């Protein structure tokens, strides 16, 4: 299964300094949790947040939810200790903010290795500055540990001096370049957050737009966004049924020595089958995740 085939429809930021939030996260239907030591934590709470997050991850109870620790940037006084501590926590991945070069990722990886991070612990990168976007291909290809690019559209808007619009046209170049970099490297990629919690219509539009663009899912800032986000990024039953149908037809055709097959009047080639397999794999993974939570 490609790296991007793991369900990441909804990945929710949770403040590491809030013990109640960390406990509540165990019951939320989010596919992933970003346990945040950076933006969501005040400077005087950084060290306690680090301790709480590492203890919470080590204690478990999060089911099949993917656990990602967002550390502080290495340019801060907390960055090194965050990475060192989180490397031993048992988290699935560490998320580095303000990434602007492949060297930054390799520096982080060196710290992880020096502090006992298992090979299974991957690296995610925040893409939130113009230089992040321009360096996205090098960042995506920086190390085999790289697994996911995360769009930081709030910081990016500030850096670009652009406006958050309904259609997000000011972001399209940045989103597209990072999507290309992620897919070329075989990585997952997550869309940025939606800040207006009362604009349900706008949020649904942004989720649908992200799905149509090719994002694996969306990062979220509030539990109320999880359900609607999951709904948009979950493969539709009719799409899963069609995918299974063309996989079966193509398999039968291949057994007859035929490279293409017509299904319901549509020409099906191997490229369609590859996409269909990903849809089916994603649907099966979502079903397994939801079953484990019941």
Region label for 29, one of left (φ > 0), alpha (ψ between -120 and 50) or beta (otherwise): alpha
HSE of 220, CA atoms in CB hemisphere, 13 A: 27
pLDDT, residue 292, reads 78
Q: Do residues 37 and 80 touch, judged by C-beta distance below 8 A?
A: no
- Residue range 17-74, pLDDT digits in tens: 999 999 999 999 999 999 999 999 999 999 999 999 999 999 999 999 999 999 999 9
* Structure confidence at residue 1 (pLDDT): 40
Relative to beta strand 93-96, strand 122-127 is: parallel
Domain ranges of the chain: 3-233, 237-293
In the CATH scheme, what architecture does the domain 3-233 have? Answer: Alpha-Beta Barrel (3.20)
Mind listing the pLDDT tens digit for each residue in 133-144?
999 999 999 999
In whole angstroms, how large is the CA radius of gyration of the chain? 20
Encode pLDDT of 85-125 as tens digits: 999 999 999 999 999 999 999 999 999 999 999 999 999 99
pLDDT of residue 3 exceeding 60:
no
DSSP class of 152: -
Q: Is residue 2 pLDDT above 60, yes or no? A: no
DSSP assignment of 197-218 equals TT-HHHHHHHHHHHHHHT-SEE
Average pLDDT over residues 181-200: 97
Range picked from 3-7, 171-175, 263-267, 288-292 for highest mean pLDDT: 171-175
């Amino acid at each position: 299964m490609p790296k991007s085939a793991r369900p990441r429809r909804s990945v929710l930021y949770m403040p590491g300094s809030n013990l109640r939030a960390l406990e509540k996260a165990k019951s939320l239907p989010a596919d992933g949790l970003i346990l945040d030591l950076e933006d969501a934590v005040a400077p005087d709470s950084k060290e306690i947040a680090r301790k709480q997050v590492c203890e919470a991850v080590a204690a478990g109870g999060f089911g099949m939810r993917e656990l990602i620790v967002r550390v502080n940037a290495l340019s801060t006084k907390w960055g090194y200790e965050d990475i060192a501590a989180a490397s031993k926590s048992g988290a699935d991945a560490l998320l580095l903010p303000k990434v602007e070069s492949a060297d930054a990722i390799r520096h982080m990886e060196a710290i992880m290795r020096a502090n006992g991070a298992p090979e299974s612990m991957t690296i995610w990168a925040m893409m939130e500055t113009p230089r992040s976007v321009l360096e996205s291909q090098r960042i995506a290809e920086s190390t085999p540990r790289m697994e996911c690019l995360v769009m930081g559209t709030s910081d990016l808007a500030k850096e670009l001096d652009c406006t958050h619009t309904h259609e997000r046209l000011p972001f399209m170049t940045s989103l597209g370049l990072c999507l290309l970099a992620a897919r070329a490297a075989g990585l997952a990629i997550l869309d940025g957050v939606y800040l207006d919690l009362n604009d349900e219509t706008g949020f649904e539009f942004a989720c649908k737009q992200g799905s149509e663009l090719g994002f694996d899912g969306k990062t979220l800032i509030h539990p109320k966004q999880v359900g609607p986000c999951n709904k948009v990024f979950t493969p539709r039953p009719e799409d899963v049924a069609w995918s299974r149908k063309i996989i079966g037809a193509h398999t039968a055709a291949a057994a007859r020595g035929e490279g293409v097959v017509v299904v319901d009047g549509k020409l099906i080639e191997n490229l369609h089958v590859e996409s269909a397999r990903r849809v089916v794999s994603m649907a099966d993974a979502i079903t397994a995740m939801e079953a484990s939570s019941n």
